[in-house]
């Protein structure tokens, strides 16, 4: 990334230009328009290839807001898939910022963890110990990324409903989960 001269590319946020978000090998590119996005992705591809890295065409997607020119982004002349939402670092990103979909994803993840601990917790009689296992395994799966959620009645209701249902399944965890 240091080989790329993107100081003037991307979006201006607090007088700083933001052209990408990176974590390990997951990269989100950000641009003002389709022309600039085509430049960014193809420049990244050239630099990546020069050091033996390739962009995975099957995992590479484009998403644009309602004000974009909605033209096709191409990598090496091949059009990239357009999507309305995508998952980045375990969090669904969409232009509509529909958190109900994300809450559904988090609930599924929490149920998956519940399935893995059910056999163990059913053998534990101490409700505080069961609650501790729940708090340390299931809640992180449910609440991953919650600090970015907008708090509203629908989201609060959905999470509370899930908590009550899961507490009943695990069998009266503790006074904090009525």
Q: What is the pLDDT along the chain (178 residues), one digit of tens a residue?
A: 888 989 899 999 998 999 999 988 889 999 999 999 999 999 999 999 999 999 998 889 998 888 888 788 999 999 999 988 888 887 788 877 777 888 888 899 999 998 898 888 888 888 888 888 888 999 999 988 888 787 788 888 888 888 888 877 776 544 454 4
* Distance from the Cα of residue 8 to its chain's centroid: 27
71-108 exposure pattern, b = at least 16 Cβ within 10 A, e = fewer? eebebeeeebeeeebeeeeeebeeeeeebeebbebbbe
C-alpha to C-alpha distance for 98 and 93, rounded to whole angstroms: 9
Structure-token match 């003037």, residue found: 8
* In the chain, where the domains are located: 11-83, 99-170
How far, in Å, are 20, 41, 87 from residue 28 at the CA level?
Answer: 5, 10, 11
């Amino acid at each position: 990334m240091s080989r790329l001269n993107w100081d003037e590319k991307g979006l201006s946020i607090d007088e700083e230009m933001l052209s990408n978000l990176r974590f390990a090998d997951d990269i989100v590119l950000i641009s003002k328009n389709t022309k600039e996005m085509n430049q960014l992705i193809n420049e990244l591809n050239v630099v990546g290839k020069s050091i033996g890295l390739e962009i995975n065409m099957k995992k590479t997607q484009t998403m644009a807001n309602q004000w974009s020119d909605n033209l096709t982004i191409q990598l090496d002349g091949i059009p990239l898939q357009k999507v309305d939402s995508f998952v980045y670092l375990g969090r669904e990103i969409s232009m509509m910022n529909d958190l109900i979909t994300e809450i559904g994803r988090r609930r599924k993840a929490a149920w998956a963890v519940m399935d893995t601990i059910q056999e163990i917790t059913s053998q534990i009689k101490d409700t505080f110990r069961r609650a501790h296992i729940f708090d340390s395994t299931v809640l992180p799966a449910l609440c991953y990324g919650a600090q970015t959620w907008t708090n509203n009645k629908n989201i609060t209701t959905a999470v509370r409903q899930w908590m009550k249902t899961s507490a009943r399944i695990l069998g009266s965890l503790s006074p904090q989960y009525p």
